[in-house]
Chain A
């Protein structure tokens, strides 16, 4: 900030110098040649009463001086060294202008610069804030992306696990069905075997019992019948029936 102020002060100084330098030809330009000549003539007429007086030999020196003064009117002003009054007026104007600028312009410029600086700082802060927010958003997006990737990976993993589970279940079910089929087949075989044995036993029982019945019937005479009845009565009496 200080360097900026110094640069501004230098700029104002340069402007003042230019004004002073510019005032030189301006002062010269403020009196035209005709005016200068007219003023020299008026001055000579005031001094000698009439220009004809200068033609007199007694005033030959005055005539020479008058001619030099007139020649000065047609001389070009110095481009470097202005007239003193011009320097004074120019310097005063410069000082006035500089003071005015120091009084009004510089604070205004300083305020404008401060405002601009503040605005730039605010813009920088806003930019920093935006950058921070952008960074935050980016981080959020990256986090979301990472989460989405993790979720996708989890979904894939779950799907794979589910597929493995389903495959395992199918395998287990198939194994169970095979086991059940084997068990049913074994049971059917056992049932058929048991049925065959039972049928065989039935046939054998029929044959044996039939034979026994024939034997019993052939031996069941009256005495035997009475003996069976008596035995039954004895069993009932003994409570063993």
Chain B
């Protein structure tokens, strides 16, 4: 799908979230759905498999999200899958979240962590990034146990890796 198509869907999702008055929640839930799909290739392939009926793929979405996400979020994901673009859902969600942050004059900062961050930690991290880079960021946390400990922050193409996994890799390189 071309970038224009991604932006169109992202704009549509963002408009629906705003219309529902739950922009922050829906964006956060969609972001989590997108990252979950990005980390689960089989699920992503199933949602984009044209051999499966659309109803079946939408049923999978409803079964997975169910009570874990809001009805609006489930409906938006089901809508994208129903249009046959389930395989591009992570990119659509990234574009939507980035656009939403931009609407709030902020830059999306993806933070990978083995544990959930407290609101205080998110606030302090945003302040730390602003003091370090001069950029107002919007923190989106991705639970990723592979980082083992610490955080990995991605701001556009910049990566600030302070994870235990990274330290282990450095240790392995030093041994090598």
Residues of A within 8 A of B (CB): 198, 201-202, 204-206, 208-209, 212-213, 216-217, 220, 222, 224-226, 228-237, 239, 241
Contacts and interface: CB of A to CB of B under 8 A. Distances in A.
A150 to B, nearest CB: 72
Contacts of A241: 132, 160, 162
Interface residues of B, number: 26
Nearest to B115: A225
Given A205-B172, A225-B149, A239-B132, A233 B124 contact: yes
Nearest to A207: B175
30 contacts: A201-B175, A205-B172, A205-B176, A206-B172, A209-B171, A212-B171, A213-B168, A216-B149, A220-B148, A220-B149, A220-B164, A225-B115, A225-B149, A226-B118, A229-B113, A229-B115, A229-B121, A229-B150, A229-B151, A231-B150, A232-B125, A232-B162, A233-B128, A236-B125, A236-B129, A236-B153, A237-B124, A237-B131, A241-B132, A241-B160
Interface of B: 113-115, 117-118, 121, 124-125, 127-129, 131-132, 148-151, 153, 160, 162, 164, 168, 171-172, 175-176
B89 to A, nearest CB: 29
A58 B125 CA distance: 214
A224 B117 CA distance: 13
B144 to A, nearest CB: 13
B168 to A, nearest CB: 6
Given A206-B172, A231-B162, 18 more contacts: A202-B176, A204-B175, A205-B171, A208-B171, A216-B164, A216-B168, A220-B114, A220-B148, A222-B115, A225-B114, A228-B149, A229-B115, A229-B150, A231-B150, A232-B162, A233-B151, A234-B128, A237-B132
Given A209-B171, A233-B124, A236-B128, A198 B150 contact: no
Contacts of A228: 149-151, 162, 164
B151 to A, nearest CB: 5
A145 B87 CA distance: 97
A127 B168 CA distance: 114
Nearest to A230: B121
Contacts of B117: 229
A237 B175 contact: no
Task: Please name the 9 residue pairs, one residue from A and one from B, whose CB atoms are nearest each other, closest first.
Answer: A205-B175, A237-B128, A232-B162, A236-B128, A228-B149, A228-B150, A225-B115, A232-B151, A209-B172
